[in-house]
Amino acid sequence: MAMPDHVYIARNDAYERIVAEALRVPEHETGGILVGRMFCTNSANVLVVAAASGPGKPAPAYADMYVPDTLARQRELEIWRAMFAPHRLDYVGEWHTHPAIHPRPSYGDTCQVNAIFADTAYQLPDGIFTPIVIVEHGSCRLHGFYYPRETRHPTAVECTVIDSAIEPLMRHLATLDEGK
């Protein structure tokens, strides 16, 4: 099963939305879904995150828990799928914020990931990308973590924010993708 060697995150539709949402409620946990695709090439496995959502408007806010609005996020997932239809994007994971002293996935996060892996409603054959976002002194840091389905352990993964349009990158990676 594939573990990404690298994660590329689109600046406009993913990273900037994450930062804006994280800074909106720095005292509460918040988060959202990540929409993208894993490309498995000869030389590397590359996860591209094309878009990110927020938690959905009615999501209740807690200091130590993020409970997203499922329907709002599903609607957003459908919009991104349609927008990037040729690229066959789907849900690839979930970002959420933590206090600065907890820059890694928690025990509770791992329990939630295990529940997702056990649920056939999720199409995550390789694993799930679960970056942790820390808000500190008015700025954000994103720590990339990926749970391979095989090990179910949060594993640090390098992330790069892509300033240019993400579609040419996905087109190029698709030509190299052995799974097509």
Partner 1 sequence: MQRTQLQPSRWHNQLWYQANPARLLMERKAVESRFPQFALVRDGEQLVWMGKLTTNRGEVYEIALYYPDDFPISPPRVFPIVPTITSWKNEAAGELKHQYADGALCLYDPKDRTFNQNSTAATVIAVAAAWLFAYETWLDSGEWPGLEAD
At its nearest, how many Å lie between partner 1 and the CB of residue 88? 7
Identity of the residue, 79 or 165, whose beta carbon is nearer to partner 1 in the bound complex = 79
- The span from the CA of 61 to the CA of 33, in Å, is 16
Closer CB to partner 1, residue 11 or residue 28? Answer: 28
Considering only residues 58 to 77 of the shown chain, the ones binding partner 1 according to CB under 8 A are 64-68, 70, 73-74, 77
Distance CA 120, CA 84 (A): 23
Q: Cα–chain-centroid distance for residue 78?
A: 16
Residue 41 in contact with residue 173, Cβ under 8 Å? yes
27 vs 64, beta carbon nearer partner 1:
64
Site for partner 1 in 100-119 (CB under 8 A): 101-102, 104-112, 115-116, 119
Nearer to partner 1, 17 or 98 (CB): 98
Minimum Å gap between C-beta 158 and partner 1 is 18
Single out the residue of 90, 117, 140, 149 in contact with partner 1 (rule: CB under 8 A).
Answer: 90
Closest separation in Å from C-beta 96 to partner 1: 5
- Cβ atoms of residues 145 and 131 within 8 Å: yes
175 strand-pairing partners:
none
Pairing of strands 145-148, 127-129: antiparallel
CA distances from 92 to 28, 124, 128, 129 (A): 24, 7, 6, 6
Taking Cα atoms as reference points, which of 169, 28, 12, 8 lies closest to residue 98?
28
The binding site for partner 1 (CB under 8 A) comprises 29, 31, 33, 64-68, 70, 73-74, 77, 81, 88, 90-91, 94, 96, 98-99, 101-102, 104-112, 115-116, 119, 121-124, 152-154
